[in-house]
Amino acid sequence: MELDLVLSGLDANEATLHDLQEWIHAERIPTVRAEPKQIPAGEGKMGPILLTALGVILGAKATVELVRTLHAWIRERKPKVKIRIRTQHGEFDFEAASIRETQALLQQVLEALNAQGA
The hierarchical CATH code for the domain 2-115 is: 3.30.70
Sequence ranges of the domains in the chain: 2-115
Q: What are the tens digits of pLDDT across the range 33-67? A: 899 887 666 666 555 555 568 888 877 678 888 88
The pLDDT score that the predictor gives to residue 11 is 92
Cite the DSSP H helix spans in 1-118.
14-27, 62-77, 102-115
CB 56 within 8 A of CB 33: yes
| pLDDT value of position 47 | 56
Q: What is the dihedral of CA 78, 81, 85, 86, to 10 degrees?
A: -160
User: 3-state DSSP helix/strand/coil percent for the chain, to nearest 5?
Assistant: 40, 30, 30
Q: What is the mean pLDDT of each run of 10 residues along the chain (118 residues)?
A: 87 92 92 82 58 75 84 92 84 84 80 69
Euclidean distance between CA atoms 85 and 53, whole angstroms = 10
CB atoms under 10 Å from CB of 92, counted, come to 19
What pTM, to 2 d.p., does this model score?
0.75
Q: What is the predicted pLDDT for the residue at 72?
A: 92
